Amino acid sequence: MNGLLELNAVAARDALDKKAISAVELTTAYLGAAEATAGLNNYVALTADHALALAAESDKRIASGAAGLLEGLPIGVKDLFCTKGISSTACSNILRGFVPPYESTVTANLWAAGGIMLGKLNCDEFAMGSGNETSAFGPAINPWQGKDKVDLVPGGSSGGSASAVAARSALMATGTDTGGSIRQPAAFCGVVGLKPTYGRCSRWGIVAFASSLDQAGPFTRTVADNALMMTAMASHDAKDSTSTQAPLQDLIGAVGDGVKGMKIGVPKEYVIDGMDSEVVTLWEQGQAWLRDAGAELIDVSLPHTKYALPAYYIIAPAEASSNLARYDGVRYGMRVDAETLDGMYEATRAAGFGEEVQRRIMIGTYVLSAGYYDAYYLKAQKVRRLIKGDFDAAFQIVDALLTPATPSAAFPVGRKIDDPVTNFLNDVFTVPANLAGLPGIAVPGGVTSDGLPLGLQVLGRPFDEATLYRVAGVLEQAAGFTTTPARMAGGAA
Amino acid sequence: MSVDKTTVAKIARLARINVPDDRLEPLAAELNGILNWIAELEEVNTDNVEPLASVTGHALPMRDDVVTDGNRPDDVLSNVPEGASGFFVVPKVVE
């Protein structure tokens, strides 16, 4: 069965069409892999019967020549996506047992393309975190191990998604990215993760965190797989008023197009204090790879970069405090009874929300409260415009930007941090793209001296995911990243 | 700007989260750590800069004012913590 797990998505599609393998065999192998790696805690629900029923239907469609773009490919779904008839909790106690009577648009698109749902994947509670440690189901674990064999975080918030794809317990997975929640875990787990342009994928049916920043995207093993999955995920959706009508580019064809003659910017502000020297080395290596492939590397400046993180930590909590007001113990989710209505709200929300979520709701409530709105929220929105302006100016000169994905490799689970601000620094290279609404992709570039993966990030113009896939395709080929994690299904450990 | 115990209690009340008294002081310290850090934005000159709330670049689309969905009381009530006769049930709000 191990041979089945070796296949990437493009290869698996090919083998399915040639009837060399069946969707039921492939799905069975992934369900087995998920059980074999259950210790990584990256699934919060495995939907085996549902998956096998879908796989049997896929095999019929393949036999009748009606295969979809993702026909027969096993996919894991971040538990932030609502899936009809299947528990969807945002990994929060306040939504424990919630079974949506509807399907998110993104997952509906995946199933319409023939994708097979394996189950729901662990994430930070309401996607708030950078290590998957705030989940009500406990932390997901990174299948990669350092020298000392301690458990490492897979990153967050889409930690279960990145962990499952790296551990080969899902061939592909969905994620969401509000401040780096796809790109940072992709880098920590050595897989490919794309945050599309804001508006490219519908947000309908995804549990909302910060609505002006949230975007869904794919996790895969290769760049070509990523373009394949993204092509199926994206759609215009009248149910999301921010959904774009711009036509989708040929992403699958772009992967092999190369970067000859392309102008790639290197932003000087993406060198920060406390950054791992191996990250800098990989970044320089990435520049050399692109130069060797015929791109022109150009130094650019994004002067407001250092203000992106503080602006984000005003805007995101503000939007979250508003979005999470709906969890009131009345219509769905947890309720803690009390004498009065307000007492019921307060008791329910105190018991249902974890510490990090409560902290962010309170920050958001404060920055939106009378007397502080202008000083914090309006100020942050003005800085947001300046940050977007920096990118607009850079993209007058260059076609894409190359940066590190994260300032360090994955860190140990349970690392004691007294200061929440230190945790926020994980997102320093990813947050600016969310504020500006730009697409970004993380691609594995190499491993540290401790054997942990590091990623490179490519940022592009709005709705120009094709350029990202061109650059990412070159980086992937040059990096020749074939190292696999210790705790992989079918692996040695 | 920094928050004290009283302000934290007020924020908690606005956010409808019950925070026990012994948590107010530590929470004030945590929130101040974050607020002091985001105060860094004060050094940015934002004179004559319009706030940016949306990056889509398109105006919100209008749709016809017609019913496109509905009449699904069972779906709407399928996750209710407490319901009766097709209604949501809450603690008594009018004496």
In CATH, the number for domain A2-264+397-479 is: 3.90.1300.10
Whole-angstrom distance between the N-terminal and C-terminal Cα of chain B?
Answer: 41
Kindly tell me the sign of the dihedral angle through the C-alpha atoms of A220, A226, A232, A234: positive
Q: State how far residue A479 is from chain B, nearest Cα, in angstroms.
A: 34
Mutate to test the interface with A, among B18, B71, B77 (most CBs of A within 10 A): B18
What's this model's pTM, rounded to 2 decimal places? 0.97
Q: Which of A181, A202, A321, A408 is catalytic?
A: A181
Q: Per the CB < 8 Å rule, is A383 touching B53?
A: no
Whether A78 is a known active-site residue: answer yes
Question: Can you read off the two tokens belonging to residue A298?
Answer: 């150009």
pLDDT at residue B59, as a whole number? 82
pLDDT of A1 above 50: no
Q: How far is A191 from chain B (nearest CA, A)?
A: 28
Mean pLDDT of A455-482: 98
Average pLDDT over residues A410-421: 80
The question of whether A157 is a catalytic residue gets the answer: yes
| Cα A163 to Cα A145: distance, rounded to the nearest angstrom | 12
From B22's Cα to the closest Cα of chain A, the distance in A is 14
Chain B residue numbers touching A329 (CB-CB < 8 A): 81
Partners of residue A375 in chain B, C-beta under 8 Å: 1
Q: Where are the domains of chain A?
A: 2-264+397-479
- Mean pLDDT over A143-163 rounds to 95
- CA distance, residue B21 to nearest chain A CA (Å): 13
Contacts of A381 in chain B (CB under 8 A): 51-53
Contacts of residue A363, Cβ cutoff 8 Å, sequence gap at least 6? A313, A314, A317, A321, B31, B34, B35
Is residue A64 flagged as an active site residue? no
Cross-chain CB nearest to A101 (options B44, B52, B78): B78
ipTM: 0.96
The whole-angstrom separation of Cα A144 and Cα A452 is 7
Q: Does A336 score more than 80 pLDDT?
A: yes
SS (H, E, C) chain A: CHHHHHCCHHHHHHHHHCCCCCHHHHHHHHHHHHHHCHHHCCEEEECHHHHHHHHHHHHHHHHCCCCCCCCCCEEEEECCECECCECCCCCCHHHCCCCCCCCCHHHHHHHHCCCEEEEEECCCHHHCCCCCCCCCCCCCCCCCCCCCCCCECCCCCCHHHHHHHHHCCCCEEEEEECCCCCHHHHHHHCCEEEECCCCCCCCCCECCCCCCCCEEEEEECCHHHHHHHHHHHCCCCCCCCCCCCCCCCCHHHHCCCCCCCCEEEEEHHHCCCCCCHHHHHHHHHHHHHHHHCCCEEEEECCCCHHHHHHHHHHHHHHHHHHHHHHCCCCCCCCCCCCCCHHHHHHHHHHHHCCHHHHHHHHHHHHHHCCCCHHHHHHHHHHHHHHHHHHHHHHHHHCCEEEEECCCCCCCECCCCCCCHHHHHHHHCCCHHHHHHCCCEEEEEEEECCCCCEEEEEEEECCCCHHHHHHHHHHHHHHHCCCCCCCCCCCCCC
pLDDT digits (tens, 9 = 90+) for A266-318: 999 999 888 889 999 999 999 999 999 999 999 999 999 999 999 999 999 99
pLDDT digits (tens, 9 = 90+) for B14-69: 999 999 999 999 999 999 999 999 999 999 999 999 999 889 877 888 889 999 88
| Partner-chain residue, chosen from B37, B55, B57, that has the shortest CB–CB distance to A421 | B37
In B, minimum Cα distance to A324 occurs at B15
pLDDT at B90: 94
**What is the rounded average pLDDT of the residues A142-157?**
94
Look at residue A420 and tell me whether its pLDDT is greater than 80. no
Q: Which of A180-184, A316-320, A321-325, B71-75 has the lowest mean pLDDT?
A: B71-75
